[in-house]
């Protein structure tokens, strides 16, 4: 990878695989980074650093204000509860079964998966994945319970962005009927162009030079311990497979609660 003999995409897929992530497991689906921060321009400038997301920071620390709020949460748990095991920056995760199914909800079998995870029906229209720009704003700035990253399909599969099966997702509060995913202006309403430019962004010189920082956060040494605390990158203890020994938990209710928590909210990849 350092010799540029494989692409960034291939390297990320390799890391996901050795870290135990798989297309066969929605709870441990391959995770990919948001690489862009520009979803409003008419044209995409891949030579400007301002076009890109800060890959050295997790999604919860993309803005100073948001980062400070998560640090405050971390410190308040220490003061109020005194239980360090529950101390974390994030109580939600960047990859989970519901996040994967929500991104791919316009395609089967993910449509049925999403509905089953939602209790048999689609979610409220305003909470459905409907716009790349608004999803970025939610995950990077606006929603304290949303720190989601992306999935590989964002870099090769235009079909997941269109409602070719004509599912009725309902209307949003502003009256917009939910159909195809709203794309950034630079994609000209064309899913193929979006995927092409998004893949170019992933393989760009800027991302190639900074991708190792994100890899450290997700797969490397900034996953755990003091490095994770310093990077504002700690998650609820249940998300770390090695921190919870289910065999030692005798209470079936507690065990089922923990398993439900993990299946709903996701798991940290194995450290590479």
Domain ranges in the chain are 8-263
Any bridge partners for residue 90, and if so which? 235
What is the pLDDT, as a whole number, of residue 79?
Answer: 60
Distances, alpha carbon 172 to alpha carbons 111, 130, 166, 183, in Å: 19, 10, 16, 17
Mapped to the 3 state alphabet, what secondary structure does 26-56 carry?
A: HHHCCCECCCECCCCCCCCCCCCHHHECCCC
Mark the ranges of the chain whose per-residue pLDDT is less than 50: 82-84
**Residue whose structure tokens are 């929605």:** 26
pLDDT value of residue 86: 73
User: pLDDT tens-digit profile of 17-49?
Assistant: 999 999 999 989 999 999 999 999 999 999 999
Question: How many CA atoms does the CB half-sphere of 119 hold within 13 Å?
Answer: 2
The residue to which tokens 């993309």 are assigned: 62
Domain 8-263: state its class.
mainly alpha
What pLDDT is attached to residue 132? 98
Q: How far apart are CA 228 and CA 239, in angstroms?
A: 14
């Amino acid at each position: 990878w350092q010799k540029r003999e494989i692409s960034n995409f291939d390297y990320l897929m390799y890391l996901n695989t050795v870290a135990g992530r798989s297309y066969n497991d929605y709870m441990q689906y391959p995770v990919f980074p948001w690489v862009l921060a520009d979803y409003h321009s008419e044209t995409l400038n891949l030579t400007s650093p301002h076009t890109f997301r800060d890959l050295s920071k997790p999604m919860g620390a993309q803005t100073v204000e948001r980062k400070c709020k998560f640090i405050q949460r971390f410190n308040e748990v220490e003061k109020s509860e005194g239980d360090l095991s529950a101390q974390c920056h994030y109580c939600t995760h960047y990859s989970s079964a519901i996040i994967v199914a929500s991104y791919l909800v316009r395609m089967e079998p993910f449509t049925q998966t999403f509905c089953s995870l939602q209790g048999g029906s689609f979610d409220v229209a305003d909470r459905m994945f409907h716009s790349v720009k608004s999803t970025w704003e939610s995950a990077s700035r606006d929603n304290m319970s949303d720190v989601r990253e992306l999935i590989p399909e964002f870099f090769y599969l235009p079909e997941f962005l269109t409602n070719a099966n004509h599912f009725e997702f309902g209307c949003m509060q502003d009256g917009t009927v939910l159909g195809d995913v709203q794309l950034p202006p630079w994609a000209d309403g064309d899913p193929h162009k979006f995927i092409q430019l998004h893949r170019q962004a992933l393989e760009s010189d800027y991302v190639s030079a900074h991708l190792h920082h994100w890899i450290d956060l997700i797969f490397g040494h900034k996953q755990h311990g003091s490095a994770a605390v310093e990077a504002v990158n700690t998650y609820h203890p249940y998300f770390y497979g090695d921190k919870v020994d289910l065999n030692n938990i005798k209470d079936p209710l507690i065990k089922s609660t923990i398993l439900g928590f993990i299946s709903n909210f996701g798991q940290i990849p194995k450290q590479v």
